[in-house]
């Protein structure tokens, strides 16, 4: 397979015309080869780095996601395929004609893969962290993806009805009930009619994970593990509350510059979505299957 990919890479590079956008260079590639280019191809051909974003140093990657290298890119690609496939399934607008926002994009490990699907004018990432903006610049992700630095709470500097798709990877797993509700209203404003909002959140498996970390003992715990070992301490009652459709939130005291009133660890059940999200959104799907994705996935459409 690798030798076949080497030949495909050579053919691909031989046929690139000057000043061609990745949107046009890579648009016909299958998923497996597209991912291989980001992980292995750039190691073989330096010229490929002119068309693909770089990656941050390992320490910065760890700070954002707790992963580095191949594992990090594989996780980013998993998110890309999830959001892309759900958009293709539920949107009436073809993917290549959509305007897309990665809300809370970090250093861009997911949005980078959309550059073969979405024209650079229509591809956006935003994040509250200055470090994310710095990494967009240093990895040259900004060549093919626009970046906007947002504040912790709305508003955000986009016009009404701007986007066909807004996706949030592991953002609603951290925002408080008040903060996430404020952003829901803002997303309703900047989504086009019939636009899709796809967000991931913690489910009750995370509550069980907190208990597992707690029971494993303190030796060798990371700062993050120490924090989650001390939340949702009453596992049974927390899961019961989740099953009753309640929003669960535990503030994070180790979140850096983010306000603990709004930032921590959140679990949002399906019944909460059905009963409490604004009626301006049409509920489509709630995926609660870790074989599909590590977090629960919420899919709604603006009316």
d(CA 149, CA 126): 6
Sign of CA dihedral 26, 30, 33, 38: positive
pLDDT of residue 18: 86
Q: List pLDDT tens digits, range 37-72.
A: 999 999 999 999 999 999 999 999 998 998 999 999
Question: Which distant-in-sequence residues (6+ apart) come within 8 Å of 217 by Cβ?
Answer: none
Q: How confident is the model at residue 257 (pLDDT cuts 50, 70, 90)?
A: low
Is the pLDDT assigned to residue 173 strictly greater than 90?
yes
> Hey, is 103 helix, strand or coil?
strand
Q: How confident is the model at residue 252 (pLDDT cuts 50, 70, 90)?
A: confident
Q: Are strands 248-251 and 264-267 parallel, antiparallel or unpaired?
A: antiparallel
Q: How confident is the model at residue 293 (pLDDT cuts 50, 70, 90)?
A: very high
Measured in degrees and rounded to the nearest 5, phi and psi for residue 28 equal -100, 5
> Hey, is 264 helix, strand or coil?
strand
Q: List pLDDT tens digits, range 259-273.
A: 778 999 999 999 999
d(CA 53, CA 43): 13
Q: How confident is the model at residue 234 (pLDDT cuts 50, 70, 90)?
A: very high
pTM of the model: 0.96
> Hey, is 241 helix, strand or coil?
helix
Q: List pLDDT tens digits, range 118-146.
A: 999 999 999 999 999 999 999 999 999 99
Q: CB–CB of 198/168 below 8 Å?
A: yes
C-alpha dihedral (49, 66, 60, 219), degrees to nearest 10: -140
User: What six digits make up the tokens of 73?
Assistant: 């890119």
d(CA 284, CA 291): 20
> 116, 119, 79, 78: which is closest to 98 by C-alpha?
119
Query: Residue 184 is inside which H or E element, if any?
Result: helix 177-190
Cis peptide before 253 (omega within 30 of 0): no
Q: List pLDDT tens digits, range 176-217.
A: 999 999 999 999 999 999 999 999 999 999 999 999 999 998
Query: In whole angstroms, how far apart are CA 81 and each of 124, 145, 150?
Result: 17, 18, 25
Q: Which residue has the tokens 């070992």?
A: 229
pLDDT of residue 19: 85
Average pLDDT, the chain: 95
User: What six digits make up the tokens of 281?
Assistant: 């959104």
pLDDT of residue 274: 98
Cβ atoms within 10 A of the Cβ of 255, count?
14
d(CA 223, CA 220): 10
Cβ atoms within 10 A of the Cβ of 197, count?
24
pLDDT of residue 254: 66
């Amino acid at each position: 397979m690798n030798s076949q990919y080497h030949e495909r890479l050579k053919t691909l590079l031989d046929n690139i015309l000057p000043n061609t956008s990745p949107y046009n260079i890579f648009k016909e590639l299958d998923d497996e080869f597209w991912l291989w280019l980001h992980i292995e191809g750039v190691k073989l051909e330096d010229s490929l780095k002119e068309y693909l974003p770089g990656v941050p140093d390992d320490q910065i990657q760890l700070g954002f996601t707790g992963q580095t290298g191949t594992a990090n890119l594989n996780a980013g690609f998993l998110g890309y395929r999830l959001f892309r496939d759900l958009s293709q399934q539920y949107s009436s607008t073809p993917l290549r004609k959509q305007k897309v926002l990665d809300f809370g994009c970090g250093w861009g490990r997911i949005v980078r893969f959309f550059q073969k699907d979405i024209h650079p004018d229509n591809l956006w990432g935003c994040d509250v962290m200055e470090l994310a903006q710095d990494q967009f610049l240093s990895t040259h992700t900004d060549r093919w993806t626009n970046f906007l630095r947002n504040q912790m709470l709305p508003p955000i500097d986009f016009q009404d009805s701007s986007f066909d798709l807004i996706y949030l990877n592991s953002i609603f797993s951290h925002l408080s009930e008040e903060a996430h509700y404020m952003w829901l209203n803002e997303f309703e404003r900047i989504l086009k009619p019939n636009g899709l909002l796809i967000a991931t959140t913690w489910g009750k498996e995370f509550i069980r994970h907190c208990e597992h970390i707690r029971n494993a003992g303190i030796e060798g715990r990371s700062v993050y593990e120490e924090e989650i070992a001390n939340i949702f301490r009453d596992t049974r009652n927390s899961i019961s509350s989740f099953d009753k459709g309640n929003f669960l939130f535990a503030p994070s005291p180790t979140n850096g510059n983010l306000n603990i009133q709004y930032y921590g660890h959140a679990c949002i059940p399906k019944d909460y979505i059905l009963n409490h999200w604004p009626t301006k959104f049409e509920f489509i799907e709630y995926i609660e299957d870790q074989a599909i994705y590590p977090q629960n996935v919420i899919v709604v459409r603006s009316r």
